[in-house]
Amino acid sequence: MVIEKIKESRFTPDVFDITTFGTAFADHMLLSWYKDGKWSEPIIKPYGKLDFTPAISVGHYGQGIFEGMKAYKGETGDVYLFRPDKNLERLNKSAERLDMPQIPEEIFMDGLKALIDLDRQWVPSTYGMSLYLRPVMFATEEAITARSSNEYLFAILTAVAPNYYNKPLSVKVADRYSRAANGGVGFAKAAGNYAGSFYPTHLAREEGYDQVIWTDDATHTFIEEAGTMNVFVRINDKLITAPTSERILDGVTRRSMIELAKAEGIDVEVRKVTVEEMHTAHKNGQLKEVFGVGTAVVVNNYVAVGYASERLELEDLPETESYGKILKKKLVDLQMGISEDPFGWRLKVEENLVEA
């Protein structure tokens, strides 16, 4: 690994005051280039510009995948990652489906740790805050012909992460547009999945909603996911979430929430859940909460769910009663090193991995 340190850090304590997510980048980035069938030695260097022509393949054919992760700083000043092995695993699953090369574990894990160690002052210690980590791979070959690129960039970027949403969301259940096809790329964290979701989200906003809950493209019967969040529905005291599938992202936060819920003794079911079931439960006063979970958002308890022309309002349960809020606290406490980690999910980033 080559390290090219920034001459003068751009860090000041007020970087943590930023309110927009993913626009204030830390000092360094990690880069590795894929060409002639192999990855270059990774380099950590100051975040900044690279040379690309407008023929850059990803701009035309969309071979781009990414991961969302966070680094947390505990009260002792230690910096932690959360289940990074799951992100590497998923990145490589995405890569396979998008016909892109696999990222070797040493580039991903050693690169990630070295980068965070170098920029550890950028990790905030305020409860619930973190440094967002963005491993990304995209096609860089200068060729406008519809085939897999022969060249890729793998990068890890880091950006200060305030709350992704600064309020509880209201969400619209998709009844016209879709996010994923059977036999498509819905399970992958693929660039095109996001691009396709923005216009329907735009339309949902015009109806007064913040996001869309996606349903199956054939019948719009089953609740799938919310684009940047997996969805949990609580009916009475049963917590239900859809099984992952080739249309649904296998979220690390989703998995962790299921395990935390089980450990808490919450009755959690992984099974298909229909829009109609949610609607009926609401009518009968049994729909206690609906929430989205994901690395960027953590947990967001929805205030309303739009279903056809109806707006199902949801009660704002107190911290002690809401499964979403209870599990969020469990998760953040574990991530920040406040609570024990019986699952072995937390990974401490050792200091001085990088020579000065």
Which of 16, 72, 132, 345 touches its own copies (CB under 8 A)?
A: 132
Specify the residue for token string 């489906």: 97
Beta bridge partners of 43: 2, 31
Q: What is the rounded (10 degree) CA torsion for 56, 59, 64, 69?
A: 100
Beta bridge partners of 170: 304
Is there a contact between 115 and 90 (Cβ–Cβ < 8 Å)? no
Q: Which stretch binds its own copies (CB under 8 A): 122-130, 151-159, 266-274, 348-356?
A: 151-159
Which of 71, 88, 98, 114 touches its own copies (CB under 8 A)?
A: 98
Please report how close the Cβ of residue 300 comes to its own copies at its closest, in angstroms: 13
- For residues 155-214, which are near its own copies according to CB under 8 A? 155, 157, 159, 164, 174, 176-185, 190-196, 198-202
Which of 48, 265, 285, 344 touches its own copies (CB under 8 A)?
A: 48
Judged by beta carbon, residue 171 or residue 260, the one nearer its own copies is: 171
Please report how close the Cβ of residue 199 comes to its own copies at its closest, in angstroms: 4
Q: Which stretch binds its own copies (CB under 8 A): 8-16, 106-114, 147-155, 283-291?
A: 147-155
d(CA 349, CA 123): 12
Judged by beta carbon, residue 142 or residue 276, the one nearer its own copies is: 142
Structure tokens at 344: 């072995």
Least Cα distance to 288 among 310, 270, 272, 267 occurs for: 267
CA distances from 279 to 219, 234, 305 (A): 16, 12, 9
- For residues 12-31, which are near its own copies according to CB under 8 A? 20-23, 25, 29, 31
Please report how close the Cβ of residue 49 comes to its own copies at its closest, in angstroms: 4
Instruction: Give the pairing type, strands 298-301 and 304-307.
Output: unpaired
- For residues 49-78, which are near its own copies according to CB under 8 A? 49-56, 58-64, 66
Q: Which stretch binds its own copies (CB under 8 A): 34-42, 95-103, 275-283, 327-335?
A: 95-103
Instruction: Provide Rg for the chain, Cα atoms.
Output: 21
DSSP category for residue 288: E
d(CA 172, CA 322): 21
Least Cα distance to 153 among 296, 84, 69, 51 occurs for: 51
Judged by beta carbon, residue 97 or residue 255, the one nearer its own copies is: 97
Q: Which stretch binds its own copies (CB under 8 A): 91-99, 251-259, 320-328, 341-349?
A: 91-99
Please report how close the Cβ of residue 316 comes to its own copies at its closest, in angstroms: 25
Which of 12, 19, 76, 145 touches its own copies (CB under 8 A)?
A: 145
Judged by beta carbon, residue 205 or residue 262, the one nearer its own copies is: 205
Which of 14, 76, 146, 320 touches its own copies (CB under 8 A)?
A: 146
d(CA 302, CA 169): 5
Judged by beta carbon, residue 64 or residue 337, the one nearer its own copies is: 64
Structure tokens at 78: 């230690």
Judged by beta carbon, residue 226 or residue 260, the one nearer its own copies is: 226
Judged by beta carbon, residue 268 or residue 298, the one nearer its own copies is: 298
Instruction: Give the interface size with its own copies as a residue count (CB under 8 A).
Output: 73
Please report how close the Cβ of residue 140 comes to its own copies at its closest, in angstroms: 9
Least Cα distance to 68 among 303, 229, 258 occurs for: 229
Is there a contact between 204 and 117 (Cβ–Cβ < 8 Å)? no
Judged by beta carbon, residue 178 or residue 244, the one nearer its own copies is: 178
Please report how close the Cβ of residue 127 comes to its own copies at its closest, in angstroms: 22
Mapped onto helix, strand or coil, the DSSP state of residue 35 is strand
CA distances from 177 to 16, 49, 171, 202, 226 (A): 37, 36, 14, 12, 13
Is there a contact between 278 and 222 (Cβ–Cβ < 8 Å)? no
- For residues 252-271, which are near its own copies according to CB under 8 A? none
- Per-residue interface string for the shown chain with its own copies, residues 213-232, x marking contact by CB under 8 A: ----xx--------xx----
